[in-house]
């Protein structure tokens, strides 16, 4: 059964203690990410090197994500987050030492980016799955809005803070900032209890423990048995083919179409971040429509309008392009926030880690395809086609989905689908530790 715990009325202090520590850690990670990318840029001046760095950072999510999610469901999620933060801190500490002795090579930066991404592949599903056990269901959308606000704020302040840190500190000290913020994220996890859902299929002591691959197959079956979620994932995979290049090609759009420079690019990125912050705050205060899926589909239509406006903006109207970018940023929390809230509220707690990561891996799978064809197609038909195509895809999916019962009723059918998948497992009474 898709049973969720009874959550203590005093949930805010423990949850936001962890949330605040993670937010501080993300600031440190953003600073270090900026510093490493800029170091690669100055050191090599190679677009291939930067593209390789992006691919290295994406691979763990795509390749290892489903298995990481399955392990998160097996292991204690609080310990997973502590270990993930600890591994990232140790990796940054090692690279800080290499910068200190002046022995850093490009391959070492690739390695650190890979390790950091592996850590994120474990940390993200553990945090998402823990949220549904610590936050009352009626507040999940608002918390998702806060997460989107944080992401938008990081887009605004991350690059300037990274540039400031590099101007004031040697790179070894910049890396140590990541170590310090990771320790701040670990500290509240040492004192706050996180409920751990029981594994129904481990409820019988003499039953053989399923293999890791069996856990992943169960997540595949789970998603396949939930037609609404499967339809959303397929739609997202199609959209991402055009949407990922649309965001990745923004520097070229500013430079070639709007004839702008670094200042104009940073302004457009800041406006995008401001839109995300605004949308996240709106979602956290408003909470969205009563049915979360309606908020998601409305966000798709808003994103469609922003993409189309940016794609059709003439090169002489940069201000209009900024307005379109603001609308795009505003729409992102209205899409991602309700999606995560739907998952947290409907997916069985014992399966959330692997289901979240399998979903993220599938959605990310088509991004490299879009990136691979972006260059040749842009050279042939122009940059703006990506924004027009992505806008049309988002708008079409949003409009058509309003008339598809399988998607519109995704929340009503969620518990039924979960029950069908885990009904065959031995039933155990869920005993949750209350958060005090």
Range 418-423 average pLDDT: 54
Report whether 89 contacts 178 (CB < 8 A).
yes
Asked if pLDDT for residue 205 goes beyond 60, the answer is no
Phi-psi region of 61 (alpha: psi -120 to 50; beta: other; left: phi over 0): alpha
Q: Is residue 429 situated within a structural domain? A: no
Phi-psi region of 288 (alpha: psi -120 to 50; beta: other; left: phi over 0): left
Report whether 301 contacts 398 (CB < 8 A).
yes
More confident residue, 33 or 207: 33
Residue 408 Cα distances to 142, 170, 297, 400, angstroms = 21, 53, 9, 10
Residues 239-290 have pLDDT tens digits of: 888 787 787 777 778 877 888 876 677 678 788 888 988 988 888 888 888 8
More confident residue, 201 or 217: 217
Number of domains in the chain: 1
Q: Is residue 201 situated within a structural domain? A: no
Q: Is residue 354 situated within a structural domain? A: yes
- The pTM for the full model equals 0.69
Q: Is residue 428 situated within a structural domain? A: no
Q: Is residue 163 situated within a structural domain? A: yes
Q: Is residue 212 situated within a structural domain? A: no
Q: Is residue 371 situated within a structural domain? A: yes
Distance CA 375, CA 379 (A): 6
Q: pLDDT class for 305, splitting at 50, 70, 90? A: very high
What's the pLDDT at 426? 41
| Percent of residues, the chain, with pLDDT higher than 90 | 18
Residue numbers of the domain that contains 249: 12-195+222-422
Of 9-18, 79-88, 248-257, highest mean pLDDT? 79-88
Distance CA 9, CA 12 (A): 8
Q: What proportions of the chain, in percent to the nearest 5, are helix, strand and coil? A: 80, 0, 20
CATH number (domain holding residue 381):
1.20.1250.20
Find where tokens 């998948």 sit: 421
Q: Is residue 209 situated within a structural domain? A: no
């Amino acid at each position: 059964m898709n049973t969720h715990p009874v959550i203590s009325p005093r949930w805010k202090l423990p949850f936001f203690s962890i949330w605040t520590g993670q937010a501080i850690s993300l600031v440190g990670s953003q600073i270090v990410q900026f510093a490493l990318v800029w170091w690669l840029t100055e050191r090599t001046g190679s677009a291939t090197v930067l593209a390789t760095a992006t691919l290295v950072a994406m691979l763990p999510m795509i390749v290892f994500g489903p298995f990481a999610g399955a392990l998160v469901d097996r292991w204690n999620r609080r310990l997973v987050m502590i270990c993930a933060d600890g591994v990232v801190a140790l990796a940054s500490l090692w690279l800080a030492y290499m910068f200190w002795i002046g022995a850093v090579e490009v391959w070492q930066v690739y390695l650190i980016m890979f390790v950091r991404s592996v850590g994120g592949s474990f940390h993200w599903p553990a945090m998402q799955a823990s949220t549904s056990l610590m936050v009352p269901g009626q507040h999940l959308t608002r918390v998702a809005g806060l997460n989107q606000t944080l992401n938008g704020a990081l887009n605004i302040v991350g690059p300037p803070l990274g540039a400031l840190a590099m101007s004031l500190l040697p790179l070894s000290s910049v890396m140590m900032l990541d170590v310090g913020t990771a320790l701040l994220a670990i500290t509240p996890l040492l004192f706050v209890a996180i409920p751990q859902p029981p594994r129904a299929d481990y409820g019988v002591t003499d039953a053989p423990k399923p293999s890791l691959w069996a856990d992943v197959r169960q997540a595949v079956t789970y998603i396949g048995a939930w037609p609404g979620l499967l339809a959303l994932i397929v739609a997202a995979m199609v959209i991402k083919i055009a949407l990922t290049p649309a965001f990745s090609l923004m520097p070229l759009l500013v430079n070639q179409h709007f004839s702008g420079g670094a200042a104009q690019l940073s302004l457009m990125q800041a406006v995008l971040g401001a839109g995300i912050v605004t949308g996240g705050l709106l979602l956290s205060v408003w909470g969205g429509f009563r049915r979360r899926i309606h908020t998601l589909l409305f966000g798709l239509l808003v994103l469609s309008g922003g993409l189309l406006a940016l794609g059709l903006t003439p090169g002489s109207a940069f201000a209009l392009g900024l307005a379109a970018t603001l609308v795009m940023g505003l729409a992102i929390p209205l899409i991602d926030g309700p999606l995560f809230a739907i998952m947290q509220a409907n997916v069985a707690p014992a399966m959330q880690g692997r289901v979240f990561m399998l979903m993220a891996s599938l959605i990310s799978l088509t991004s490299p395809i879009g990136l691979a064809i972006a260059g040749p197609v842009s050279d042939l038909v122009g940059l703006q086609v990506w924004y027009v195509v992505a806008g049309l895809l988002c708008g079409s999916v949003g409009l058509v989905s309003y008339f598809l019962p399988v998607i519109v009723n995704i929340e009503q059918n969620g518990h039924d689908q979960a029950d069908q998948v885990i009904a065959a497992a031995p039933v155990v009474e869920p005993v949750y530790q209350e958060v005090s």
